Amino acid sequence: MRIFYEYSHLGGKEILQVRFRTHLDEIMSVIKTVRAYKTKVSRERNRRGQRLYDPKQMNVQFREEFQKRGWEELKDQFILELPDYPSQYTLRGSKQIDFAKDGVLVEVQFGKYAFMFYDLAKFQYFYNEAKAEVAVEIVPAKPLQAEMSSGVSYGEQLVHDILRLRRHFPAVPVWVVLIAP
């Protein structure tokens, strides 16, 4: 893979360059190592039989490469406490990040747009809990997304929305990386 476009929100990339140079180098190495193959055969009506890039196969590669470099999942589990909620119900919740190391969070998202945006909320959660200093969102650029199954979103929309929200959300430094084969 290659970096097609990048956006540094609230100095996300600059923080990586100055304070987490080794982590940035590892992230760049992982991106370069992952290969996209058209191994998925489409069953969609308008693309039936067409070979597409397989997000599951790419996710496996990302997971293997980050784990080789010592990155681990970060997960918080908690009891949901709501004001005036009936006490006989115990509700449990959790927040999970794909890869974390020394306060640097990384999510790789090949899902629908809502999941990309939810990743930003998770970054904000862990930042507020003082478990993160900077985050990285790796998402497909339009050229990659166009050759994947329908339902996969593209990072240009995410960057557009972050720019329109300005500094209000997320209030955590994020480096958004759009990748393409």
Dump pLDDT digits (tens) for 26-59: 999 999 999 998 888 777 677 777 888 889 999 9
What predicted TM-score, i.e. pTM, was given to this entire model? 0.92
- What is the third-level CATH fold of 2-180? Restriction Endonuclease (3.40.91)
In whole angstroms, give the CA distance from residue 136 to residue 14.
12
The answer to whether residues 2 and 181 touch, using CB atoms and an 8 Å cutoff, is yes
The answer to whether residues 124 and 118 touch, using CB atoms and an 8 Å cutoff, is no
3-state secondary structure at position 177:
strand
In whole angstroms, give the CA distance from residue 151 to residue 3.
22
In the predicted model, what is the mean pLDDT of the chain? 93
> What are the boundaries of each domain within the chain?
2-180
Write the pLDDT tens digit of every residue in 81-127.
888 888 777 889 999 999 999 999 999 999 989 999 999 999 999 99
In whole angstroms, give the CA distance from residue 123 to residue 170.
8
